[in-house]
Amino acid sequence: MPGANLTRIEAEERRGVVSAPIHYAVDLDLTVGAKDFASVTTITFDAVPGSTTFLDLIAETVTEVTLNGVALDPAAVFADSRIELAGLTEHNEVTVKALCQYSNTGEGLHRSVDPSDGNVYLYSQFEVPDARRVYAVFDQPDLKATFDFSVLAAKSWIVTSNMPVASVEETDTVTAEGTLGDHEAETTKRWVFETTPVMSSYLTAVCAGPYAEWHTEYLNEDGRVVPMAQYCRQALAEAFAKDVDYLFDITKAGFAFYAKTWGVPYPYAKYDQIYVPEYNAGAMENIGMVTIRDQYVFESKVTDALAERRVVTVLHELAHMWFGDYVTMKWWNDLWLNESFAEFTSTLATAEATEWHDAWATFCSGEKSWALGQDQLSTTHPIVAPINDLNDTYVNFDGITYAKGASVLKQLVFYVGREKFFEGIHNYLDKHAYANATLADLLGELEATSGRDLKAWSAQWLEESGINTIATEVEENEDGTIASLVLRQSAAAEHPVLRSHRLAIGFYDEDPATGAIVRTDRIELDVDGETTVVAEAAGKRRPALILVNDDDLTYTKLRFDDKSLAFAAANLHRFDDALARAVIWLAFWDMTRDGEFPAKDFVDTTLRLLAHETESTTFRYALACMGTTAWHYTAPAERAGIVEHVAAELWRLAETAEAGSDQQFQLATAYLGYGEEGDEAFAANAKGLLDGTVVLDGLEIDNNFTWTIVKALASVNAIDEAGIDAQLAKRDTTENREFALGARAAKATAEAKEWAWNEAITNEALTNMQLEAAARGFAGTPRADLADPFAAKYFETADWIWTNRTFHMAEALLESLYPVYADPARLVELGEAWLAAHEDADNALKRIIRANVESSQRMLKVRDYNAAL
């Protein structure tokens, strides 16, 4: 058997053998120690008589397999993470007893020990196929089943799962040594949960530990009272208590918004949200019990962008209760049915049902910019992606599946009309409730309600890769009116499809009364083919700026006419609408990274924007993209001067920003990323912020910002190991251990980089979050002399990493350890050689490597463009 990487063909074959009703009784014993837990699974299912299939299970030891009353030899039937089941009958029962392993990677059943109090916390993460790390299972989305969970755990712990508790019984069993970390052994309780509705295995969940808890209720639209709960670590309880009521209110607003929008009330028995440590994703939509990374519990000041992102995340996971959970894709090629819908509808709900009314500007600057970047790589793929195996699925949790898909759905709503769109969604949800569905099922319902033939739309938007560019061409009359306005659509040679767009064109001019740049006119139209004449524009006075894709209604790259380009570059900060600024800024960023707009001009435009921008996510991404431009896209001869200029301007802007504002916080944080060894002014500012001799009014030097300063000092060798250790000793927490690792890895010495490299790759005791902190610290020092020695080493080590680490850890290492500040020409040479020698390598591995190499190719192209100016 080929092992853990299930192929689509194998899943289809197994689906042809196994059939409903399928039921699991899963009994977990979480009291046997710090490394292992006991798992007993009994599965009843129907099958084709005489057939053979297999169960998925990743476990160190299988002690017993019984099929239809016959004991099988585990050594004979268990291999390569699969259990062979031969000679099946029409009705079958199989019991598997195993010893499974806790993870520290966020996969399967993760075990975390909080150093601040010694408490142990467990939580599950099963997407894509990691239920098999906890119990024996047919681990594919279209073999839905019902589940009964029973869990033995320490008496002081609480246990949660997808369904409400049916019973809790104390036992005389005592926890084994190590189960509770350094805490003394104790007796146990057995938690039994109600039977789940029919669901996919990847959506099952179990969490256990001494979590702090809060409870409330929601009166559901169908008249039921839905119990709600929130949980977090005890160490975060005081901070979380300040936000719990707000997060309950956001969730309730989401319940109401989705029920009204789709006409389907929340379908499940309860709704828990549990904030867990060391999470390897943002959150996970387990039915009735969502797990969320506890970086969203705010002990220290965060940006408004992150606060808004928490709201979007809460509403994203809630949307999955309908899209993904209630109706589930048959196979992972329709992953977008989950993620694109959740991303689109959570942004819609955030904009219309919460105080974050500029959520679509946030989406444009953040999510859409992510999509545009990934869609211009050779590794791009259709939104409905070809998924041949599980490894293909892993790498498709990307900007195409999430952000491009959501942007395209926004276009579809505009194309068919909001009322008809959501009427179709209601019918889709009703027709496929608790079942599996495909793209064809969805389009069928939308066609029925809208009256539009969506097959051509789907072929263009969902089944073809790449992005179009729409350029504006204007001819003026002598009196300043428009003689003609033409939109010219183009596509990259490798993805030559031209798409149909429904979009708006905005005319923008200065408001004489306020000095702001405001929209003065708007035209809606369909764009199709290579050229579209905007007849309605003829004879209108030419405005200062013509903005195609006003309101960001379609998914495309933009190129302005010359007058609009010059006006926008000089006046972007004066536009009064956050979404208009985001659309224009994203176009400038795209032109800059395509080598069509000078890097120095982009830096200057961004700095002017930062002096006035109020939308936090646009502010955040403007800072990040300006940093990429300054460090990687500028002409080598000018780079040092531009970086120095940016750092000085960031500090100046931080000094003049409103006291305590989000802008001040982001500017000060960004400035601390521009340190260079030998810059005495930088070191003095950073040390002064830390010891209080330098003060920015309103800027709180709290725990997280303290570590931002410490890492900045480490990056210029202005703090030693003892200083980092002393800072950690003041407050030894889960988060601060990660910060300390990042600071040590950020030190600008060859010894520190070698240590960080080895620590990230070989120290399997590191949690996933610690590993990522070490890797980011390693790669984040902008010095070629420190990065160059690791260029060849990176490609020499890639195969070992892929073979010896789990997927999530391999992905984190291969993405974060890429020595991006090394000579890009050398990285391209080595990378192209590696790819040529690895034509038969796993597709997911090649996609990660290719994306890194192409980022270096882009650096060379854009650097050369700017050097030639």
Residues marked active site are found at 317
- Cα–Cα distance between 135 and 525 in angstroms, integer? 54
Burial status of residue 343 (CB atoms within 10 A of its CB: 0-12, 13-18, 19 or more): buried
Length of the chain: 869
Are the C-beta atoms of residues 674 and 646 closer than 8 Å to each other? yes
- Cα–Cα distance between 202 and 130 in angstroms, integer? 7
First CA to last CA distance, the chain: 58
- Residues with Cβ within 8 Å of 448's Cβ and at least 6 positions away in sequence, in order, are 424, 427
- Cα–Cα distance between 859 and 77 in angstroms, integer? 52
Adjacent-strand bridge partners of 526? 502
- Cα–Cα distance between 371 and 405 in angstroms, integer? 9
Burial 854-868 (b: 16+ CB within 10 A, else e): bbbbbbbebbebbee
Q: What is the DSSP code string of 18-36?
A: EEEEEEEEEEEE--S-SSE
Q: For residue 136, give the nearest of 214, 36, 44 by alpha carbon.
A: 44
Q: What is the DSSP code string of 310-365?
A: HHHHHHHHHHHTTBTTTEEESSGGGHHHHHHHHHHHHHHHHHHHSS-TTHHHHIII
Distance set, CA 417 to CA 449, 450, 505 (Å)? 10, 8, 18
- Residues with Cβ within 8 Å of 751's Cβ and at least 6 positions away in sequence, in order, are none
Q: What is the 3-state secondary structure (H, E, C) of 608-638?
A: HHHCCCCCHHHHHHHHHHHHHHHHHHCCHHH
Q: What is the 3-state secondary structure (H, E, C) of 462-531?
A: CCCCCCEEEEEEEEECCCCEEEEEEEEEEECCCCCCCCCEEEEEEEEEECCCCCCEEEEEEEEEEECCCE
Q: What is the DSSP code string of 230-261?
A: EEE-GGGHHHHHTTHHHHHHHHHHHHHHHHHH
CB atoms within 10 A of CB 439: 18
| Pair of tokens at residue 82 | 């699969």
CB atoms within 10 A of CB 562: 9
Adjacent-strand bridge partners of 82? 56, 79
- Cα–Cα distance between 187 and 737 in angstroms, integer? 31
Instruction: Tell me the pairing of strands 158-161 and 165-174.
Output: unpaired
> What residue ranges in 136-232 does DSSP mark as E strands?
146-154, 158-161, 165-174, 187-193, 206-209, 212-219, 225-232
- Cα–Cα distance between 311 and 201 in angstroms, integer? 27
Q: What is the DSSP code string of 34-57?
A: SSEEEEEEEEEEEE-TT--EEEE-
Q: Could you give phi then psi for residue 717, rounded to 5 degrees?
A: 55, 40
Name the helix (H) or strand (E) containing 437.
strand 435-437
Q: For residue 230, give the nearest of 385, 643, 239, 798 by alpha carbon.
A: 239
Torsion of CA 327, 328, 329, 331, to 10 degrees: -160
Are the C-beta atoms of residues 191 and 151 closer than 8 Å to each other? yes
Are the C-beta atoms of residues 121 and 183 closer than 8 Å to each other? no
